[in-house]
Chains A and B, each alone.
Chain A
Amino acid sequence: MNGTLAIARREVADRRVILLTAGVLALIPFAVLLIPSVKRFGSGMVIAAVGGFVALSYILALTLLLGATFIGRELADKRLSFYFAKPLAASSIWFGKLAGSLATIVLAAATILIPSMIAAAEHWTPVWRRGIGYGALVALALFLLAHTVGTMFRSRSPLLLADAACAAVAAGVLSALFNTLAAGHAQLLRYQLGGVLVALLLLFLIAGGAWQLSRGRIDPARNHRELSRFLWSAIAATLVLLGIAVFGIVSVTPADLGSQVWAGTPPAGNWMMIAGPVQHRGDYRGAFYLNVANGEYRRADARSIWWEMFFTPDGLVAGQLRPVGRGGKGPVQLELVRFGERDVDILPTQVMFSRYTQPVLTTDATRVASVANGIVRVQSLPDGRTLALARIPGAAQHARLFFDDNHRLRLFSVAGGRLDVFRLDLRSRRLQRTGTFTSTSKVLGFNATADGSRLLMRAGGELSVLDGRTAAVLAKLPGEGRGAILSDGRIAIVDAARGKLSLYGSDYTLQRELALPGMRTIPFLREVEGGKLFVGGHRGGAANEPDGRGWSVHVVDIAAGAITATGRDLRPMPQDLHFGLGTADPRRVAATADGPFIFLDADGSVVLWDPASGTKRAVTRAS
């Protein structure tokens, strides 16, 4: 310890000139005030800003210079033997010189900053003070990196090539591991791991210096060799451990998903997407394509929670949009997953992400249509060609798209109280308005049939059935409930206030009314294959609790007009509750005609419910 302190003292004393220079630089913020035009910014602000700038510049230069020379120069000049010929441990030499150099930097920074902090105290806000803390960390990192790079370059050894290769490999592995976590949207986890890695790297750089002197002593080439050996071994071990940790984090199954589960359901078929936070793994989110019929699953990118995902009408292909690069400002990539095939297609697109409009795929997944910034675009996926591009007249707030076939696209555009129906012909590339619906209400909510031929419009407390091509009003239905057009042309309307379900025929006449016992809030109405209708609701009160308590689901036989099964404590998946806002419609079927069907159980876990037997099978465990 005595040796360490003695060396540290010497290092500071030998660098008196640096501190004297800092003293002179400390006067600059005050000297700048002598310039008349500067005073208009306020003397306090000028002193603080100039003082901060001068200190930052000087400390940055000093950090790099001292870092590169505090050991390296004496090593190159063969003067380290002076210390090694004394009863000083190599670690004392390293830590003494390190402490002395860092103390010099701190003293120099303090010499410049303290006068301006005193003179302009009101401008040294907590934000600036925090900046000093971060700055100190950055300075330490730069200092140690300058030493490391300096040691490597001074040796002029071919080992430099190996260092470069190791650095590239380490960066690649790190990037791959962090991308793996990014795919699970684990932002906090990445920050935390990043912090730990930075701390470890600093530790390795500090310990590496002690190691290099201990094993390399006065020989520059050997110092380089030992430093490289230590650093890359430590980094490799860390990356292996990190790899194991990341593998442990990402090795989750659908059963590991906790509460707050998200699900994406196709119009048909057994495959669905299920995603959400994973227990005991920070903010990592697992994402899976899950076959609800047999429990088979494959991993997916959890970023689709935030970046839209969708299915072909037959539910056999899932499309997922991913941002390219940082910020997600440009066109997105489309990942196509064909269930039953192993490979995943990742295709570049010209699709721009839009929060309000979901892209759609043709049934054969060869074309994708999207709307962004008021422009509709259809792209051929195999070759990336743009097949059609058109500006939508009016300021569309959101739009719904339907492929009539591979050559015709239908577009419902909503702006305020107006709905426009357009048809885009891909052969002629013409966008043609085919109808308009207007309402005095500024908020329109509608559901469409699977083929988009009819719409059930809810506007200003009225329910209207519209023609999906001309937007002409075909019928007006009584009541203020919410509803859906069923596949056989009938219409189902739920009235939560009265706790009843009304079924209308395709001629819009009332056929049946059913009481919905125990439901005060009924946000869920879904037709499934086989002429069944699911009605989900809450008994009232805390309907927003993230579990199934107080919820129930009735299965209605449409033809018979009777409730055939009731599931207690079952809640529809949260994203399905936006019923009536145009984001949920009866096309989304989560399972086969006979079930089982996916719901949240009383404890928040995801379960598959079989209405025929009334049994529940857990898909996830509630946290």
Chain B
Amino acid sequence: MNETQESAVRAESVVVRYGRRTAVDGVTLEVPRGSVCALLGRNGAGKSSLVRCLIGQQKPDAGSVALLGRDAWRHRAELMERIGVVSEESDAPPQMTVAELARFSASVYARWDQQAVDARLRRFAIASDARFGNLSKGQKKQVMLALALASAPELLILDDPTLGLDPVARKSLFEEVITELAERGITVLLTTHDLAGVETIADRVAIMREGRVVVDEELEALKARFRRVRYAQRTVALGSGALGVRSWGSNGAEAVVGDYDERMERFRAAEVATMSLEEIFIAVAGDATGAES
């Protein structure tokens, strides 16, 4: 398989441990080229540890990670020429101005589109002489996104880019990514808790729970197989695909089924409702008792 046929992201049996705690427990994940993959999970599910492994900043205790067909740990520096990263924490030196950050970044990339940076900063209404440390959280994310996109990356990795942002900032950030997608068709892997926002751009979803990937598929397929079903009686056999069965109404039962597309006939007697990504996430990533967070 040559490089262009390879997946943009390929993680195999990745394990990350911190002392006795296993943060990432044998994760295998593949992100095809040209797709937008949302990596979801509750806090502590292991997303950030996995992302650090994906971008070659952390060596997994076991397993392997390849980006664009090359080992992420060994070829990190070369790979970063083709990858844009927006970290969870805005990690640029706080004393540098936005213009200095851009100049510094330009000096270390072979490809650099300063006009694109300037245009985005104008769109975000961020002054280039502002010190990075003085910017708001949302502005910092916007600056980091502008810098990440300036090298025309083939793969964009966004680690919780909307964390702490107000709805307006969140919307502008996603719009920027959507524009980039429309213009260049890059691959995007992002982690986020903004499920409503990501639903508009993601075509693939992976959900992590307690260090494991429990869902990894096309968003449309995911939404097709998940339904909320309600029965008037409680004594209904829902099968193994049912999640979080609970009382509904005076005598009825409600459950989420994850195999609706395969067993549609079975739920003829039930009241069936489609589910948003957020609802699916809560059903899948909630705790063992099905409690929502």
Contacts and interface: CB of A to CB of B under 8 A. Distances in A.
Interface of A: 2-3, 6, 10, 13-14, 78-82, 84-90, 92, 215, 217-219, 222
Listed residue (B81, B93, B108) with the most chain A CB atoms within 10 angstroms of its CB: B108
A85 B56 CA distance: 9
A152 to B, nearest CB: 18
Given A10-B104, A88-B108, A218-B58, A82 B92 contact: yes
18 contacts: A2-B107, A3-B107, A6-B104, A6-B107, A6-B108, A14-B95, A14-B96, A78-B89, A81-B87, A81-B91, A84-B55, A84-B76, A85-B80, A86-B80, A87-B77, A89-B77, A92-B77, A218-B58
Given A14-B96, A85-B55, A219-B58, 6 more contacts: A2-B107, A10-B93, A78-B89, A82-B93, A88-B108, A218-B57
B109 interface: yes
Interface in B16-63: 52, 55-59
B105 interface: yes
A104 B110 CA distance: 28
B107 A87 contact: no
Nearest to B18: A221
Interface string B104-139: 110111100000000000000000000000000000
A217 B108 CA distance: 18
A92 B76 CA distance: 13
B80 A88 contact: yes
Contact of B77 (A78, A81, A88): A88
A222 to B, nearest CB: 8
Nearest to A79: B91
Contacts of B104: 6, 10
B132 to A, nearest CB: 10
A218 B108 contact: no
Contact of B81 (A6, A82, A87): A87
B109 A86 contact: yes
B57 A87 contact: no
A393 B28 CA distance: 96
Contacts of A86: 80, 105, 108-109
Nearest to B52: A218
B32 to A, nearest CB: 23
Contacts of A92: 77
A215 B85 CA distance: 20
B78 interface: yes
A81 B57 contact: yes
A2 B108 contact: yes
B91 A78 contact: yes
A217 B74 CA distance: 12
Contacts of B57: 81, 84-85, 217-218
Residue with the highest number of chain B CB atoms closer than 10 Å, among A78, A87, A222: A87
A218 B104 CA distance: 20
A82 B78 CA distance: 15
A294 to B, nearest CB: 64
A211 to B, nearest CB: 14
Nearest to B79: A87
A88 B79 CA distance: 10
Nearest to B94: A79
A502 B17 CA distance: 96
A2 B110 CA distance: 10
A14 B104 CA distance: 12
Nearest to B151: A87
Contacts, number: 69
Contacts of B58: 217-219
A218 B57 CA distance: 6
A79 B108 contact: no
7 A-B pairs closest in CB distance? A85-B85, A87-B81, A6-B107, A87-B80, A82-B91, A79-B91, A89-B77
B43 to A, nearest CB: 17
A88 B56 CA distance: 12
Interface in B67-93: 76-81, 85, 87, 89, 91-93
Contacts of A89: 77
A1 to B, nearest CB: 11
A87 B96 contact: no
Contacts of A3: 107-108
A7 B85 CA distance: 19
Nearest to B19: A221
Contacts of A85: 55, 57, 80, 85, 87, 91
A88 B108 CA distance: 7
Contacts of B89: 78-79, 81
Residue of A84, A85, A86, A90 contacting most chain B CB atoms (<10 Å): A85
A78 B110 CA distance: 26
Nearest to A92: B77
Contacts of A80: 91
A89 B93 CA distance: 18
Contacts of B109: 86-87
A96 to B, nearest CB: 10
A431 B153 CA distance: 99
Contacts of A2: 107-108
A574 to B, nearest CB: 66
Contacts of A14: 93, 95-96
Interface in B223-262: none
A15 to B, nearest CB: 9
A345 to B, nearest CB: 54
A90 to B, nearest CB: 8
Contacts of A6: 104, 107-108
A66 to B, nearest CB: 15
Interface in B170-195: none
Contacts of A215: 59
A87 B105 CA distance: 9
A278 B93 CA distance: 60
B101 to A, nearest CB: 9
Contacts of B93: 10, 14, 79, 82
Contacts of B108: 2-3, 6, 86-88
A86 B78 CA distance: 9
Contacts of B59: 215, 217, 222
B78 A87 contact: yes
Contacts of B105: 86
A237 to B, nearest CB: 24
Nearest to A11: B93
A218 B79 CA distance: 17
A80 to B, nearest CB: 8
Given A85-B80, A87-B81, A88-B108, A10 B91 contact: no
B105 to A, nearest CB: 7
A10 B80 contact: no
A84 B83 CA distance: 12
B277 to A, nearest CB: 28
Contacts of B92: 79, 82
A9 to B, nearest CB: 8
B229 to A, nearest CB: 45
Contacts of B77: 87-90, 92
Most buried by A among B79, B100, B107: B107
A254 B80 CA distance: 65
Contacts of A219: 58
Contacts of A87: 77-81, 108-110
Contacts of A218: 52, 57-58
A387 to B, nearest CB: 66
Contacts of A84: 55-57, 76, 80
Nearest to B82: A87
Contacts of A78: 89, 91
